A and B are shown apart, each in its own frame.
Chain A
Amino acid sequence: MDVSPLISIRRVTKRFPGVVALSDVSLDIPAGELHAIVGENGAGKSTLMKLLAGVIGSFEGELLLRGRPVRFADTRAAEAAGIGIIHQELNLVDELSAAANVFLGREKRTRLGLLDNRVMERSAAELLDQLECRVVPSERVKTLRVGDQQLVEIAKALSRETEILIMDEPTSALTESEVARLFRVIERLRARGVTILYISHKMDEVFRLADRITVLRDGRLVTTVPRADTDPRRITHLMVGREIESVQVAEHRVPGQPVLEVERLSLPWPGHARAWRLRDISFSLRRGEILGVAGLMGAGRTELLECLFGSSAEAYSGSIRLEGRQVRFRHPAEARRAGIALVTEDRKRLGLFDQMTVCQNITLCTLRQAAAGWLVSPARERRMAAETVGQLNVKTTGVDVPITSLSGGNQQKSIIGRWLRTRPKVLLLDDPTRGIDVGAKAEIYRLMDRLCRDGLAMIVTSSELPELLTVCDRILVICEGRLTGEFNRAEATEQRIMEAATLRSAG
C-alpha cells in the first residue's frame, strides 16, 4: 500500500482518573471503507470515536488524517476536517424545525442578513429526500419519530460535506423497518465515497455492512480482520474473551392463576389525528408467565405499561383487575403499594439516580423497611442492598460506590433489584436490555426466567424481536394502539410478528 490511509490512529492511550479507557490502540482506515468497531460496553469504542470527533481533546499518541497529524480542540475543528458523528443519544434541538437543525450553526441568510428559512427548508428537503426521510422540514424535531430524527442528524452531517461519518450504535432505538431504511441510506453513502466508522455490538448488522471489523476489549485492540475471514461466533468470542452459550430459557414453564386482567383499555390522545394512543386492548397475565409486547416505535408499548403503572398523563378508560380486584391507579405510589413494579425504558433519564450510590439506588423504593421509627439505620440499609447485589449478581466493588461506576448491565440489574425489593406481583419491564452488552443481556434473560419460575408475572417490551422470542411465553403485538396479534411461544416467529406489527388500520 503506497497510498496513506485516510485515518491513522497511532498508539493512542486515553486515561481517565482511575480508568485506562484506551490503551496503546493503533488502527489504519483507508478511504471509502465501512469499518465496524465492536466490543462490549466499556471496551473503549465510544472513547475512541470521541477522540476522532474532537469531543475528547487530550490523549497520548498520534492521530493522522490524510497522512497529516491532527489534534482537534473541539467538535467544530473535527467537523471542519470533515468528520461527523451521530451519537447514540441524538444531538438535536427539540424545539427547532428539522431544517433549522440541519443548518444549525451555518444558517443560510438573505441579503439583509436575516434567516432565509425558504432556502434552508428547500435544501433540507433535498437532503432528507435522498435519505428516504419523508418529514416536512419545517416540522419541529420534537414531533418526529426517533428514526426520522436520526436521519435529520445524518442530513446535518451530509450538509457539511462530511467525508468520515461515525455512527455510534445507530440502530439501538429503531424498529426493523427503520433499520432497513438506515441500511439503504448507509449503502448510498458508501456509493458516494463516505468513509463510515460503525460502532455496534449487534453481529448481524456488523456482518451485513462492514468491510473490516475491529474488536476492542478492555481498552485494547484485540484484532482487526476483514469480514470475509471471520464469522460472528469468532468475533463474539473475541469481544467477551469467552464463549457465549446461546441462552435457552422459557422451556417447561407452567403459568398459574391469572393475576392481571385488562379489558377494553383505551387511552385518548388529545390533539392528535389518531385520537387514541391505545384502543380497546384486552389481555390477561398469569402468575409465572412472561408476556411480551411487540410493536414498532410509537405503537403504544410504553403507554400500555404506563396505564398499568398509573403513570400515564391522560386518564384511560376500560378496566384493569389485579388478582380479581378492580384497580385504577392515579399515581405510581398506588401501583407500587398494590404490587406493580415498572423498570423504565430510558434508564438514564427515568430510572437512575446518578448522584447516588449503588446502595441508595437499590433501597430507594423500600427505604422504610430500613427505618426504625423515624430514623434509617445505615447498617440495615446496607445489608438490604448487599442482599440484592448478591441475589442478582451485580458486579460492583461494594454497595457504597457511585452507581455510575457500574456498567450499563449492572446498573440495570440494580434497578430491577430496587423493584424486586418491593415484592411485586407484576413486574413490568420496558425494553430492559437497551444499550446493554451481550453478556449482560444473557444474564438478564436468565434472571427473568428464574423470577418467572418463582411465580412472578412479567410483561416485557423490546425493540429487538429475537429477545422477545427468547424469553416470552406469549407475545402480544400492538400496531398504532390496537392489538393486532397474539402468539404463544410455539407459534411466534419474527415473520408473523412483523406482519402483525405493520398491519395498518386493522378493524
Chain B
Amino acid sequence: MSPMRPKAFPLGWLARSEAGLGLAVVAVVLLTLLFDQQRTYYYSPELSALDVLRHTSMLGIFALGAAIVIISGGIDLSAGSVIAFSGTICATLMVFLAPEAMQKAEPLGAGVTILAVGGTLVVGFLIGSLHAWLITVIGLPPFIATLATLVGLRSLARAVIENVTLHTFGARTTQIQIFDQQFRSLTTSVWLRAALFLTLAVAAWVLLSRTVVGRHLYALGGNEEATRLSGIRTDRLKWLAYALSAMLSSIAGIFYIGEQSVADPQTLARGYELNAIAAAVVGGCSLRGGIGTIPGTVLGCLFLRVVIDGIAKIIKTGADVYEGLIVGIVVVMAVALNQLRETSGRRKRFFEGPLGAVTVINLALLLGVLTTLVASPTSGQVAVLVGLACLALVKLFEAARARRAGS
C-alpha cells in the first residue's frame, strides 16, 4: 500500500556487511598488534596465524551447518553434543574394530580408522535425520527437537563409553584414550583441517548460491508456506539442512578426539553450539531465516576467533576464561548494529524511562567489574563512577532532545 522503505537489495547489503566484517577483522588484528605487550603477532606472525587458523577451521566446519539451518529458517542447538557424541562413537568404533590395539596403544591401521570415521559420519546423518523427523513429522519446533538432543546425546555418549570400557577393558571409565599416531597427526595437522574447512565452505557456498536446492533453502527460510505452495517439498529440504548440520558436527567431533587424543564426552565441545550460531549470526545470517551467506559465516568465524585470540593476548589470561563473555558481547554488538542500521530513520532513545535508569546502572557495573578484573579494584571503582556519570549524562541529553522534539 504505502511506499515501503526500500529494503536494501540483498546482494548489496551482503557486500556491505561482508566488507565491514573483513575490515573489522583487520582492525582487531591491528589493535592486538598495538596493545599486546609481548608483540606476539609481530615476532611470530606465522605461529599466531596458524593458531588462529586452527581454531577458525574447527569452529568453521560446524558453523557452516549452523548457517545452513539458520538460512533455511530453523535452528540447530545440538552441535556441541553431536560433536561429543560423534567423537565417542568414533572412539567406540575403534574399540570394537581393534580392541587389543586400543588397549595396548598400538597402531590401528588405515582400514580401522577409515571404517570408524565412515561409521561416525553415518551416525551424524542418522542424528540429523532424527531431527528432521521430529520437526517435520512429529511437528516439534526445531528449538525443542534440537534442545532435546543437546541434553540427551551427551549423557547417552557418557553411558556408551562407560559400558564399552567396562565390557572391553574390564574397567569402567568415562573416556577412551586414542593412541594411534597416524590418526592423531592427521587430525592435529592445521593444513589438513584448513584445507577441509575451505573445501567444505566452498561446497556449501556453491550449494547455497548456485544450485536449485540452495535457492529453495533460502525460499524455505523466507516463507515456508509460500515455498510449499510453490510445489517445493519443504520436508526434504529440512532433512537436508539438519543432516548436513549434524554431519558437519560429526566431522568436527572426529578432529577433536584426535587433537585431544581422548574421547571424553563430559567435557568435549561443551557450549560450542552457541559459538557456531554466534559465528553465523555475526556473519549476517538472520535468525528469522532466508538471509545470510557462507562467505559471511566464514568471516564471522574468523572475526570471533581473532577477537578471542586478541583479547587473550592483550590481557594474558587463558583464552578460554573470557571466551564466552567475548562471544556474548560480539553477538550483541553485531546484531544490534544491524538492527540500528535498519531503524536509523528514527532517533533512538537508549536509556528511556525506568528501564533506561536500570540499564545505566547495569552497564556501569559491568564496566567496573571488567576494569577490576583487568586492572585493579581501585580503577574498577573509578570506572563504575565515571561510567555512571557518563551514561546518566547521555540519558539526560536524550530526554532533553525528546522534549525539544515533542514541543
Interface check A47, CB cutoff 8 A: yes
> Most chain-B Cβ atoms within 10 A of its Cβ — which of A349, A364, A376?
A364
Q: Are B6 and A405 in contact (CB under 8 A)?
A: yes
A96 within 8 Å of B (CB atoms): no
- Residues on the A chain within 8 Å of B7, using CB: 354-355, 402, 404-405
Known contacts A57-B346, A58-B346; decide if A402 and B6 are in contact (CB<8 Å). Answer: yes
Say yes or no for B215: interface residue by CB 8 A criterion: yes
Contacts of B233 in A (CB 8 A): 331, 333
* Contact (Cβ within 8 A) B1 A364: no
Q: Are A375 and B345 in contact (CB under 8 A)?
A: no
Of B222, B229, B405, the residue contacting A342 (CB under 8 A) is B229
Could you tell me the distance between the alpha carbons of A417 and B330 in the complex, rounded to whole angstroms? Answer: 43
* Alpha-carbon distance A47/B215, docked complex (angstroms): 34
Question: CA–CA, A355 to B224, complex, Å?
Answer: 13
Answer whether A44 and B3 are a contact pair too, CB < 8 Å, given A352-B223, A360-B215: yes
What total count of A-B pairs have CB within 8 Å? Answer: 133
Contact of B229 with A367 in the complex, beta carbons under 8 Å: no
The yes or no answer to A97 lying at the interface (CB within 8 A) is no
Whether A35 is near chain B, meaning CB under 8 Å from some CB there, is: no
Cα distance, A336 to B346, chains bound together (Å):
45
Q: Does A3 lie at the interface of the complex (its beta carbon under 8 Å from any beta carbon of B)?
A: no
Contact of B3 among A16, A332, A375 (CB under 8 A): A16
**B211 in contact with A356 (CB, 8 Å):** no
Partner among A17, A21, A344 whose Cβ is within 8 Å of the Cβ of B229: A344
B290 touches A353 (CB 8 A): yes
Beta-carbon nearest neighbor of A375 in chain B: B210
B2 an interface residue at 8 Å Cβ cutoff? yes
Say whether B228 contacts A311, CB under 8 Å.
yes
Is the beta-carbon distance between B1 and A46 smaller than 8 angstroms? Answer: yes
**Shortest distance from the beta carbon of B218 to any chain A beta carbon, whole Å:** 7
Q: Is B112 an interface residue (CB 8 A)?
A: no
Does B406 sit at the interface, judged by CB under 8 A? yes
Q: CB-CB < 8 A to A405: which residues of B?
A: 4, 6-7
Q: Is there an interface contact between A367 and B9, defined as CB atoms closer than 8 Å?
A: no
Contact string, B211-227, partner A, CB cutoff 8 A, digits 1/0? 11001101100110111
Question: Complex: how many Å from CA A219 to CA B233?
Answer: 43
Contacts of B405 in A (CB 8 A): 71
> What string of 1s and 0s marks CB contacts (under 8 Å) between A99-140 and chain B?
000000000000000000000000000000000000000000
- Whether the pair A404, B230 counts as a contact (CB closer than 8 A) is no
- For residue B139, CB closer than 8 A to chain A, the reply is no
**Which among B9, B215, B230 has the highest number of chain A CB atoms within 10 Å?**
B230
Q: Is A42 an interface residue (CB 8 A)?
A: yes
Assembled-state Cα–Cα distance A426/B4 (Å)? 34
A349 touches B2 (CB 8 A): no
Residues of A close to B227: CB separation below 8 A: 353
Can you list 23 A-B contacts with CB-CB less than 8 angstroms, sorted by A residue number?
Answer: A17-B5, A19-B6, A42-B1, A42-B2, A45-B2, A47-B2, A47-B3, A169-B1, A331-B233, A332-B228, A337-B231, A342-B229, A344-B229, A353-B218, A355-B7, A355-B291, A360-B215, A365-B231, A371-B211, A375-B206, A400-B11, A402-B6, A402-B10
Q: Give Cα distance in the complex from A225 to B112, angstroms.
A: 88
- How would residues 326 to 358 of chain A score, 1 for a CB under 8 Å from any chain B CB and 0 otherwise? 000001110111000010100001111111110
- Interface code B137-160, partner A: CB below 8 Å = 1, 0 otherwise? 000000000000000000000000
A: residues with CB less than 8 A from B are 16-19, 21, 41-42, 44-47, 50, 57-58, 71, 73, 88, 168-169, 219, 309, 311, 331-333, 335-337, 342, 344, 349-357, 360, 364-365, 367-368, 371, 374-376, 400-402, 404-405, 408, 418, 422, 435
- A350-B226 in contact (CB<8A): yes
Q: CB distance B3 to A19 under 8 Å?
A: yes
Determine the chain A residues whose CB is within 8 A of the CB of B4 once the complex forms. Answer: 16, 404-405
Determine which of A44, A402, A422 lies in contact with B2 in the assembled complex, contact meaning CB atoms within 8 Å. A44
Contacts of A400 in B (CB 8 A): 9, 11
Complex interface residues of chain B between 225 and 262 (CB less than 8 A to chain A): 225-233
Which B-chain residue is minimally distant from A369 (CB atoms)? B212
State which of B211, B226, B232 has its C-beta within 8 Å of the C-beta of A344.
B226
> When chains A and B are docked, how far (Å) is the Cα of A212 from the Cα of B230?
44
Beta-carbon contact of B231 and A335 below 8 Å:
yes
A336 touches B1 (CB 8 A): no
**A364 neighbours in B (Cβ, 8 Å):** 215-216, 219, 230, 232
Could you tell me which residues of chain B, from 331 to 386, have a CB within 8 Å of some CB in chain A?
A: 345-346
**Shortest Cβ distance from A342 into B: residue:** B229
Assembled-state Cα–Cα distance A365/B212 (Å): 10
**B32 → A minimal CB distance (Å):** 36
* Chain B residues near A332 (CB-CB < 8 A): 228-232
A18 touching B6 in the complex, CB below 8 Å, given contacts A58-B345, A344-B229, A351-B229: yes
Bound CA–CA A309/B346 (angstroms): 45
A219-B3, A335-B231, A401-B9 provided; 5 other pairs, C-beta below 8 A? Answer: A309-B229, A342-B229, A356-B219, A376-B212, A404-B7
Docked Cα-Cα span, A402 to B222, in Å, equals: 13
Encoded as 1 (CB less than 8 Å from any A CB) or 0, chain B from 102 to 113 comes to 000000000000
User: In the complex, are the beta carbons of A333 and B232 less than 8 A apart?
Assistant: yes
Residues of B within 8 A of A45 (CB): 1-2
A interface footprint on B1-40 (CB within 8 Å = 1, 0 otherwise): 1111111011100000000000000000000000000000
Within 8 A of A (CB), among B182-233: 206, 210-212, 215-216, 218-219, 222-223, 225-233
What residue of chain A has the Cβ atom nearest to residue B207's Cβ?
A374
B8: nearest chain-A partner, CB-CB: A402
Q: How far is the CA of A419 from the CA of B216 in the complex (A)?
A: 16
Question: Using Cβ atoms and an 8 Å threshold, which residues of chain B touch A354?
Answer: 7, 222-223
Closest to A306 in B: B229
Could you tell me if B3 and A376 are in contact, using CB atoms closer than 8 angstroms?
no
Q: How far is the CA of A435 from the CA of B185 in the complex (A)?
A: 65
Are B6 and A357 in contact, CB atoms less than 8 angstroms apart? Answer: no
Contact A402 B223 (CB under 8 A): no
A351-B229 Cα distance, complex, nearest whole Å? 8
Contact A418 to B291, CB < 8 A, known contacts A57-B346, A367-B215, A376-B211: no
A404 to B9, CA, bound (A): 10
| A235 → B minimal CB distance (Å) | 19
Residues of A within 8 A of B228 (CB): 311, 331-332
Q: Is the CB of A418 within 8 A of B406?
A: no
Task: List the B side residues contacting A331 at CB < 8 Å.
Answer: 228, 231, 233
B231 lies within 8 A of A402 (CB): no
Nearest CB of B to A283, in Å: 23
A311 pairs with B212, CB closer than 8 A: no
Q: Is the CB of B3 within 8 A of A21?
A: yes
For the complex, give the distance between the alpha carbons of A352 and B210 in Å: 21
Q: In the complex where A375-B211, A435-B1 touch, is A350 in contact with B229 (Cβ < 8 A)?
A: yes
Cα separation A342 to B226 with both chains bound (whole Å)? 11
A335: B residues at CB distance < 8 A: 231
A71 vs chain B, min Cβ distance (A): 7
Q: Which residue in B3, B11, B223 is a CB contact (below 8 Å) of A42?
A: B3
Residue in B4, B219, B227, B405 with the greatest tally of chain A CB atoms within 10 Å: B4
- Say yes or no: A368-B212 contact (C-beta < 8 A), given A47-B3, A73-B406, A400-B9: yes
Contact (Cβ within 8 A) A353 B231: no
| B212 with A371: CB separation less than 8 A | yes
Chain B residues with Cβ below 8 Å from A422 are: 231
In the complex the two chains form, is B219's CB within 8 Å of A353's CB?
Answer: yes
Q: Smallest distance from the beta carbon of B398 to chain A beta carbons, Å?
A: 13
B75 → chain A closest CB, angstroms: 18
Given contacts A58-B346, A353-B223, A367-B212, contact A311 B229 (CB under 8 A): yes
The distance in angstroms between the C-alpha atoms of A16 and B7, with both chains bound, is: 11
CA distance A57 to B402 in the complex (A): 12
Shortest CB–CB separation between residue B14 and chain A, in angstroms? 11
**Are A376 and B222 in contact (CB-based, < 8 A)?**
no
Please report the C-alpha to C-alpha distance between residue A219 and residue B2 in the assembled complex, in whole angstroms: 10
* A356 contacts B231, C-beta separation under 8 Å: no
Q: Within 8 Å CB of B231, what residues of A?
A: 331-333, 335-337, 365, 422
Taking CB atoms, residues of chain B closer than 8 Å to A360 are 215
Q: Which residue of B lies closest to A363 (CB)?
A: B215
| 4 smallest beta-carbon distances between A and B, as pairs | A336-B231, A46-B2, A47-B2, A46-B1
